């Protein structure tokens, strides 16, 4: 269950389900809510022990300056949503040129405090600090940018930051093949099957039979698992990614 309040945590605990706190929606009371989930958890046929994660909005780029530039789009988009003016996701140039009022800047700052934006080193440090604060070993990463190539690059930089030494593409492919549990849960899959595709291989011919994905998670004990391998196969399907921090 994904939730941003104690109500979702209570439901997850009562029914013995995994719980993910939506830090990207609010950061208020998150660690306390996570503690309550663990304390009140009741084992079920689906889960014997509490399983917790947090969802975090992240933009990672080669430099902090570049990351802040990309994040400007999200700033303006969130402001417009809050004002009841939904519009297409703006390019950074438009967002930076927007004439923010003082109150609007405060709103942007409020939303920015729960985002992780920066270069790989600073992003990794902040995510690890968040994981420790919430007491979790898994983070669900959400990245949205105006430029899709920048979105893919953000995920790839995270893979390099959390992964072991070695060639980035080789590393991601190795994890994807041997360490990842892959969940088929994409609109593209449903559309392809409506069009006549019978198996995952019909939808994703470059992937081994029986595998299709939008969300990936998993990993060997003691090795951080980055679910960024998708970018090397079907980056057009990338939505959210899971990171194990231990």
Q: What's the pLDDT score for residue 129? A: 95
CA-to-CA distance for 61 and 150, rounded, in angstroms?
Answer: 8
Closest-CA residue to 8 (of 49, 45, 46, 55):
55
CA-to-CA distance for 179 and 177, rounded, in angstroms?
Answer: 6
Q: What are the angstrom distances between the C-alpha of 89 and each of 40, 50, 74, 148, 245?
A: 40, 37, 8, 12, 30
Q: What's the pLDDT score for residue 44? A: 95
In a 13 Å sphere around the CA of 182, the CA atoms on its Cβ side amount to 20
pLDDT tens for the chain, 246 residues: list them. Answer: 999 999 999 999 999 999 999 999 998 899 999 999 999 999 999 999 999 999 999 999 999 999 999 999 999 999 998 899 888 889 999 999 999 999 999 999 998 989 999 999 999 999 999 999 999 989 999 999 999 999 999 999 998 998 765 555 555 554 444 433 333 333 444 444 455 544 444 444 443 333 333 333 333 222 223 333 333 333 333 344 445 544
Q: What's the pLDDT score for residue 162? A: 86
Q: What is the Rg, in whole angstroms, of the alpha carbon atoms belonging to the chain?
A: 19
CA-to-CA distance for 87 and 61, rounded, in angstroms?
Answer: 25
Task: Please state the pTM of the whole predicted model.
Answer: 0.67
The pair of structure tokens assigned to 99 is 């004439």
Which residue is it, tokens 């011919």? 205
Q: What's the pLDDT score for residue 176? A: 45
Q: What's the pLDDT score for residue 167? A: 53
Q: Which stretches does DSSP call E strand in the chain?
A: 2-3, 19-22, 52-60, 115-118, 138-142, 181-183, 215-217, 240-244
Angle at which helices 30-40 and 120-134 cross, to 10°: 50
């Amino acid at each position: 269950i994904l939730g941003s309040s104690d109500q979702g945590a209570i439901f997850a605990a009562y029914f013995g389900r995994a719980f993910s706190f939506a830090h990207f929606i609010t950061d208020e009371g998150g660690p306390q809510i996570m503690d309550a989930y663990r304390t009140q958890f009741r084992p079920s046929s689906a889960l014997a022990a509490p399983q917790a994660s947090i969802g975090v909005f992240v933009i990672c780029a080669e430099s902090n300056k570049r990351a802040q530039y990309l994040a400007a789009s999200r700033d303006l988009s969130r402001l417009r949503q809050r004002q009841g003016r939904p519009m297409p996701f703006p390019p950074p140039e438009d967002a930076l040129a927007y004439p923010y009022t003082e109150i609007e800047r405060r709103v942007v700052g409020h939303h920015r405090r729960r985002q992780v934006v920066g270069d790989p080193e600073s992003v990794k440090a902040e995510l690890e600090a968040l994981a420790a604060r919430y007491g979790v070993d898994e983070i669900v990463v959400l990245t949205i940018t105006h430029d899709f190539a920048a979105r893919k690059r953000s995920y790839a930089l995270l893979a390099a930051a959390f992964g072991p030494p070695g060639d980035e593409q080789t590393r991601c492919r190795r994890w994807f093949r041997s360490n990842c549990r892959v969940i088929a849960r994409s609109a593209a899959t449903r559309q392809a099957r409506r069009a006549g595709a019978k198996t995952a291989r019909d939808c994703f011919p470059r992937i081994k039979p029986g595998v299709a994905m939008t969300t990936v998670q998993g990993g060997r004990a003691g090795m951080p698992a980055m679910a960024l391998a998708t970018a090397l196969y079907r980056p057009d399907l990338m939505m959210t990614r899971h990171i194990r921090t231990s």
